[in-house]
Amino acid sequence: MEAKELLVLPLGIVNFVTYLGLPTSVVEFFENMNDKAIQDFRRLRLERTRASLQKRRITARIFATGKEVLDYLRAIIPEGATVGVGDSLTLSQVGVYELLETGSYSYLNKYATMSREEKRALYLKNFDADYFFSGVNAITEEGEIYNLDGNGSRVAPIIYGPRRVFLVAGYNKITLNEQEAAARIRNYAAPTDAIRLNKNTPCAKTGKCADCRSEDRICNYLTVIKGQFDPNRIEVLLLDEELGF
């Protein structure tokens, strides 16, 4: 094999044709082919996850963008509905909080300035809400939903209380199985969230879980949803975007 061949083989097919000086149209052809392959692969994983959720009696829908999600929610949530939320970077990125703040809803806004007792009262109102929104920490391709919480105010209403629950998840939250879900939460989602929340925990300082006993520990309540009695209560909105931690 010639030296030139040895040099270019590791570069990948797009860089390979560029290195050879082939026309731009050829490079674009391979770039488009690669993009389509990635898109098709992601869609297959999303569809597989959706099908697994549905087998567990959990309604699931796939959206290409956050705008599609907001359009869907505007169409189905009636004016005057009481809506609660959990803490979620995904909900913020998609625009769900803004939708609830500016819409004609009775929004149980946990981010409003209030006393400790007022916030407790608001959390209790979530249980009787018409709708409740949250993100997720991981969803397996087998259709199991994993969430880790600090004080339980997010995971408790997901499990019981609100008449309908919407869980919004980006493509990056999909994992192969239980082992990958646990690893994702322990090694990435939880330490990153502890840093975001400026918690005084070992993981916020090192970026690595130490299974600590800190007063600021946010890894207190781990829930796994494997199914539900009412197939219309919890609904998962899957997005083909990278969202949240």
Cα gap 215→97, rounded to integer Å: 29
* Residue 179, pLDDT above cutoff 50: yes
* Residue 25, pLDDT above cutoff 90: no
Comparing C-alpha atoms, which of 192, 172, 148 is closest to residue 239?
A: 172
Mean pLDDT of 147-166: 97
> pLDDT for 32-52, tens place per residue?
667 888 899 999 999 999 999
* Residue 24, pLDDT above cutoff 90: no
Tokens describing residue 230: 């009412």
Q: Is 201 exposed, middle or buried (0-12, 13-18, 19+ CB in 10 A)?
A: buried
Domain ranges of the chain: 36-239
pLDDT band at 5 (very low <50, low <70, confident <90, very high): very low
Q: Is 155 exposed, middle or buried (0-12, 13-18, 19+ CB in 10 A)?
A: buried
Residue 129: CB atoms within 10 Å? 22
Q: Is 243 exposed, middle or buried (0-12, 13-18, 19+ CB in 10 A)?
A: buried
Please give the mean pLDDT across all residues of the chain. 90
Cβ-contact 240, 45 below 8 angstroms: no
* Residue 2, pLDDT above cutoff 50: no
Neighbouring-strand partners of residue 50: none
Mean pLDDT of 163-182: 97
Cα gap 107→85, rounded to integer Å: 9
Alpha helices, H only, the chain? 3-8, 13-19, 24-55, 66-76, 89-94, 96-102, 116-126, 155-159, 178-184, 190-196, 202-206
* Residue 27, pLDDT above cutoff 90: no
Cα gap 15→8, rounded to integer Å: 8
Position 29 scores a pLDDT of 59
Position 6 scores a pLDDT of 43
Residue 170: CB atoms within 10 Å? 21
pLDDT band at 194 (very low <50, low <70, confident <90, very high): very high
**How many helices and strands in the chain, by DSSP H and E?**
11, 10
Query: What percentage of residues in the chain have a pLDDT greater than 90?
Result: 82
Position 7 scores a pLDDT of 44
To the question of domain 36-239 being in CATH 3.50.50.60, the answer is no
CA atoms within 13 A on the CB side of 27: 11
Mean pLDDT of 145-157: 96
Give the pTM. 0.86
Mean pLDDT of 205-228: 93
Mean pLDDT of 153-170: 98
Neighbouring-strand partners of residue 225: 145
CA atoms within 13 A on the CB side of 60: 25
> pLDDT for 78-102, tens place per residue?
999 999 999 999 999 999 999 999 9
